[in-house]
Structure 1
Amino acid sequence: MFKQRLVTGLLLAGVAFAAILGLPNIAFGIFVLVTFLIGADEWARLTGGHTPLIRLAYVAVVAVVAGLAWGLAEHGDVRLPILIGVIWWLAATVLLLVYSPNRPLDVIGGMRMVMRLAVLPSLVPAWLAIVWLQRYDPWLLVFLVVLAAVGDSAAYLAGKRFGRHRMAPRLSPGKTWEGLMGEMLMSLLLAIAGAWHFVADDVWLRMGFVGLCLLTVLASVVGDLFESLLKRLAGAKDSGSLLPGHGGVLDRFDSHLAVAPVFLMGWLWLRGSGL
């Protein structure tokens, strides 16, 4: 299983970096949107949409809303749809904190309906943020992908070696506070290197960039745990079986759904502050 997961991960990384660095922005946007629409289909099945008609409806709605968000970003301000994504992930954080497996679904505001509607603020702002970052600076998007991937690996290794205290036993028993500390430490080192490369020669802006990277890492944890909640409510181990060793598209990119809008919103704020 580990070998299969490693091979799949390396192939995905190669495809992702080639697309980020090699495709024009429009082609890249379509490529990522197709990937996210596969994720929308997985989301439909996880929330009870097992018929082809319901799954098609999920995919169609996400595609239409993505188009509307792109139009708004092109002719208005990209901050609005990205802000919607950031607000959603703040709400998702609260949802994760109050969730209890012992409560009926309807006690927490109709959890299943919330999960069905969450497909839009989860997928669309993330897609737009990823495409916008590739347009602005492909290497900045590469940095973000590496930040999330290296942090996740550091969390796994630190948790396996030092993990004693579970962080979210109700949702993801393998996550530990020690793993999170290892992830934050490795991310801090990457953030410092990124600040010297991407940010102007200003100590306060560089410190702001480092802080943004650490906040982004915390957002990745929220994205990961939220997908765990989605699968727990569905009684599923994985979101799909498309990617050998990883599961489905959502299993592989769950953390990026929260990472992308949080990072872009912070980046835009830093630019407005003089970056």
Structure 2
Amino acid sequence: MFKQRVVTGLLLACALLAAIFYLPARVFDMIALLVFLIGADEWARLTNAYSPVIRVVTVVVVALIALLILQMPVRQQLTGIVVLAGTAWWILVAFVLLSYDSVEAVKRLKGARIMAQIAVLPALIPAWLAIIWLQRYDAWLLVFMILLIAVGDSAAYMTGKRFGRRKLASWLSPGKTWEGLMGELFMSALVAVLGGWFFVAGSPWTRAGFVILCLFAVLASVFGDLFESLLKRQAGCKDSGHLLPGHGGILDRMDSHLAAAPVFLLGWLCLRGGGL
């Protein structure tokens, strides 16, 4: 299993880097959308939408909204609005996850199932839009964002495994600990400092702002991971799918980035004065 996981991870990393750096923007947009549509189908299954009709409708709605955004003449202005909406959604998710202590309590929320199904839109569309915008703006910045979350996630795992004592959200992810989170933030801060010197010109205060936005993106990634864990626990399954050997489904690989990407882009736009 470990060997399979490593091989799949390396192949995914190579494919991702090749797509980011060598594909034309329009082609990258479509391939990224295809990946997100697979994620939309997994989302539909996790929210108990086993009906083929509902799954198809979910995928079609996400595709139509994404394609409509691509065709709009004011897409640049719309990007800021969509990533702001996406960030607001993940703030709401954080509030819900911090307010409850069991899957059953969340299930008892009025309309919880319908809300979880509809949530595919604010969860996937802003993340997809943020990723394709970053690829157009600066491919290295997109790679940095992905690497930032990956390094933080690995640091959380290793720190938690070695020093973890206090559970972060045992009802969702028993392996996550507060010590792991501290290790994740510490390592992410180091990566962010290096990124600040590479991507940000200007005063030390601007670079400090970049580090802060990176830490907010990392925190958002934690809630993205926890929210997918909530969906999987509600569905009673370990993985969102079986497409990626040793890794599970598409959502299992990009759950953290669903939350981190819009937060990171929104922070970047604010750091640059709001211009697209």
TM-score normalised according to structure 1 size: 0.96
- Give yes or no for contact 1:195–1:210 (8 Å, CA) kept in 2: yes
* Count of paired positions: 275
Q: Report the 3-state secondary structure (helix = DSSP H, G, I; strand = E; otherwise coil) of the residue aligned with 1:167.
A: strand
1:263 aligns with 2:239: no
Consecutive unaligned residues of structure 1, counting only runs of 5 or more, are: none
- Separation in 2 of the partners of 1:186 and 1:96? 24
- 1:88: Cα distance to partner? 0.5
TM-score normalised according to structure 2 size: 0.95
Q: Structure 1 residues 60-69 or 26-35, which shifts more?
A: 60-69
* Structure 1 residues 47 and 123: CA distance shift in structure 2, 3 A: same
- CA shift digits 1:109-162 (9 cap, x unpaired): 321111101000000000000000000000000000100111111111111111
2:54 corresponds to which residue?
A: 54
- Give yes or no for contact 1:105–1:112 (8 Å, CA) kept in 2: no
- 1:255: Cα distance to partner? 0.3
Q: Report the 3-state secondary structure (helix = DSSP H, G, I; strand = E; otherwise coil) of the residue aligned with 2:165.
A: coil
- Give yes or no for contact 2:33–2:128 (8 Å, CA) kept in 1: yes
- 1:105: Cα distance to partner? 5.3
- CA shift digits 1:230-269 (9 cap, x unpaired): 1111111110000111110000100000010000000000
1:201 aligns with 2:202: yes
- Separation in 1 of the partners of 2:159 and 2:108? 36
Q: Report the 3-state secondary structure (helix = DSSP H, G, I; strand = E; otherwise coil) of the residue aligned with 1:21.
A: helix
Equivalent residue letter for 2:146: V
What does 1:121-136 align with in structure 2 at a 5 Å threshold?
Answer: 121-136=122-137
Equivalent residue letter for 1:247: G
- Give yes or no for contact 1:83–1:265 (8 Å, CA) kept in 2: yes
- Separation in 2 of the partners of 1:258 and 1:105? 20
Equivalent residue letter for 2:192: A
Q: Structure 1 residues 103-112 or 245-254, which shifts more?
A: 103-112
- 1:175: Cα distance to partner? 0.4
Consecutive unaligned residues of structure 2, counting only runs of 5 or more, are: none
- 1:106: Cα distance to partner? 5.6
Q: Report the 3-state secondary structure (helix = DSSP H, G, I; strand = E; otherwise coil) of the residue aligned with 1:78.
A: helix
1:38 aligns with 2:32: no
- Give yes or no for contact 2:103–2:230 (8 Å, CA) kept in 1: no
- Give yes or no for contact 2:103–2:234 (8 Å, CA) kept in 1: no
* Structure 1 residues 177 and 100: CA distance shift in structure 2, 3 A: closer
1:7 corresponds to which residue?
A: 7
2:28 corresponds to which residue?
A: 28
Q: Report the 3-state secondary structure (helix = DSSP H, G, I; strand = E; otherwise coil) of the residue aligned with 1:241.
A: coil
- Separation in 1 of the partners of 2:122 and 2:204? 34
1:79 corresponds to which residue?
A: 80
- Separation in 2 of the partners of 1:139 and 1:153? 21
Q: Report the 3-state secondary structure (helix = DSSP H, G, I; strand = E; otherwise coil) of the residue aligned with 1:33.
A: helix
- Separation in 2 of the partners of 1:273 and 1:78? 11
- CA shift digits 1:161-214 (9 cap, x unpaired): 111111000000000111111111111110000000000131111000000011
- 1:54: Cα distance to partner? 1.5
1:113 aligns with 2:108: no
- Give yes or no for contact 1:99–1:108 (8 Å, CA) kept in 2: no
- CA shift digits 1:78-109 (9 cap, x unpaired): 21111110110011111111234374556323
- Separation in 1 of the partners of 2:162 and 2:234? 30
- Separation in 1 of the partners of 2:66 and 2:91? 21
1:247 corresponds to which residue?
A: 248
- Separation in 2 of the partners of 1:272 and 1:75? 14
* Structure 1 residues 101 and 207: CA distance shift in structure 2, 3 A: same
* Structure 1 residues 75 and 266: CA distance shift in structure 2, 3 A: closer
Percent identical residues: 60
- Separation in 2 of the partners of 1:103 and 1:52? 26
1:155 aligns with 2:156: yes
- Separation in 1 of the partners of 2:131 and 2:220? 15
